[in-house]
Amino acid sequence: MIAPTRPPLGANTWIWVSPLTDADVVVIAPRLAAWGFDVIELPVEDPGDWDPARTARLLDDVGLGATVCAVMPPGRELVAAETSVVAATQDYLRRCVDAAAAVGSDVVAGPMYASVGRTWRPEPGERDRMAAQLVAALAPVAEHAAACGVRLGVEPLNRYETSVVNTVAQGLEMIADLPAPAVGLALDTYHLNIEEQDPAAAVRAVGAAGRLAHVQVCANDRGAPGADHVDWVGLRDALADVGYGGPLCIESFTAENASIATAASIWRPLARSQDAIATDGLAFLRSLWP
């Protein structure tokens, strides 16, 4: 059954800038609202890049909801890492939760297990050890998140960006011992397209487990949703079947920022303009719920 109304639709500020600053929010948020978006997705590259209280007031003024992304550059690790590194990463994630609570986001999403781009071939039994390490490291963060009314969305990434969690099945295994109300999975259609044999079935598996915390969308090449070969109708129906009530947030990146372009392997423009990724994607997603 198709949901009678469309989910809220959002856009990640990474489409235009990295890192996000207060000055950027002042420009981007009113534009998203004017285009008809419901939600702005706010990455926290470093706490303090943008002020949560100030942002909350601005979003209230323009009528936008918010979601928050945790960012995992080299040095942020919860598995296969030194105790001091894990502790610093936990502190960072708590601050992401605080920012989310301040702007009214009920989720912090991201690959909160290891830094993006860190890959190695796990030894026999190492995945079980990493799962135990992740549970131990995320448990206190999840407790803090639950107290703030925020859910953690652990995001599986494709095999080229991590060797820890690539698939929905792996993600569900890794978080099985963490409380479902506080910890779920964040799904991204870009990674689903690479790693899942049946992305719609993967969505249903997460929904059946009660673990669907957040959904990010883009074309299979990271461009605007709809300008690609993704089975959007199948994904729409799967999201309706599991009763997902959160937003769909367009996540893409700009090739103009050297650090993020390298991290996300953005070597060429993905649309006629960065604005078009958002506006064309918004128009297409709206068309799925006529």
Active site residues: 155, 251
Closest CA to 221 of 189, 262, 256: 189
Q: Which letter, b or e, does each residue of 194-232 get, where b requires 16 or more Cβ atoms within 10 Å of its Cβ?
A: bbbeebbebbbbbbebebbbbbbbbbebbbbbbbbebeb
How far apart, in whole angstroms, are the C-alpha atoms of residue 89 and residue 86?
A: 5
Q: How far apart are CA 202 and CA 243, in angstroms?
A: 14
Dist CA 196 CA 175 (whole Å):
18
Instruction: Answer for the pair 176, 139: CB distance below 8 angstroms, yes or no.
Output: no
Length of the chain (residues): 290
